[in-house]
Amino acid sequence: MAKPYNNNEEIDGISSGNTHNASCDSCRSAHIYSDRYKCLQCIDYDLCGYCFEERRETRPHSSGHAMVHFKIPNELFGEHVPCPNDITLAKLNELLAGKQHNTKCDVCSIQIVGVRFKCDTCHNYNLCSKCMQQRVTSKNHQSTHPLVVASNQSLLKININDILKGEVLGHGAFGQVYKAVWLSKNREVACKVFRVTAHRRHLEDSFRKELNAYAELSGAYILKTFGYGERLMANGIKECYLITEFMSHGSLSNVIHNEMEKISLRRKLTMACHVVSGMSKLHAHTMIHRDIRPDNILVSSNYTAKIGDMGIAHVFDPEEKHTLMGCLSFMPPEFHR
């Protein structure tokens, strides 16, 4: 069987963009594309998104070490970082000193001030800097679970005048998705617009759910969300904006119908692994997507497949009765029994 490959490689004539000035210390890729994880407990140690999600370990690095996640080169939590290589735990403690989080540490039960660490495996598990350094565990959290520095804000609220909409990429009952430019960042993005009228209040609920889902989840195979915006128009219609990364190959459905003959078996297998990894992360965080299908899987310029459209994603409660939702053609086999 063809071996899945790391998407930092340039294969099938695809050259990577959006690269970090760092190499992966596990797979040895010369440049890290899209997601960079810098270890705060090892000296000069970085992982690409692929190796981080695989929980790769090479001495002296352990999968349970604390990491800082650079989703974009030279940027952290929406702020420009001139030299990411200089970011250390001591530097973060200095930069984030006094930052208040509306979250308590799951070990000492004290409200977190300063650096907050979020478990990448457990659902809603947070540690303060002191408990992280003492490597204390509780509940289902294990010492091998990666910890990632988390912001004190869920998602950035963006001034919609800072978003210049361009061509329409897709549309549906909810509204439209535009190719856009985030002007102050000079960044190409996708802009999903919900138009909420008096008769379509459920769309705002869907928008809020999607915001909450993306705030909870982050990873190499989950669509990156940069922020959101809202405005009330003169006609009384409320517009809700969701700003995400731009995926140049569009949906997996588009790739299947237009590009499958050009894609190697190795790449197809790797994209399938991306989807499985993304769904595994959702389920680890006790979330169910409820509408997983090719239209809701987005594909980047280097053919990384990511889970998107979290508008009807739901936190699973085994005691709760769940409604069946989604596209009939892609419902699980047990639905048809």
Q: Which of 246, 99, 249, 247 is nearest to 185 (CA)?
A: 246
Each residue of 31-87: pLDDT tens digit? Answer: 898 899 999 999 999 999 999 999 999 888 999 999 999 998 999 988 889 899 999
What is the mean pLDDT of each successive set of 10 residues along the chain, which is 337 residues long?
Answer: 47 53 94 93 94 91 94 88 93 90 93 94 90 88 93 83 94 82 92 81 71 75 90 85 92 88 89 92 79 89 88 45 50 50
Each residue of 272-290: pLDDT tens digit? Answer: 999 999 998 888 877 776 7
Say whether pTM exceeds 0.85.
no
Buried-exposed string 311-330: b where 16+ CB fall within 10 A, e elsewhere: bbbbeeeeeeeeeeebeeee
Q: What is the 3-state secondary structure (H, E, C) of 43-77?
A: CCCEEEHHHHHCCCCCCCCCCCCEEEEECECCEEC
Domains of the chain: 36-150 (no CATH), 156-245 (3.30.200.20), 251-335 (1.10.510.10)
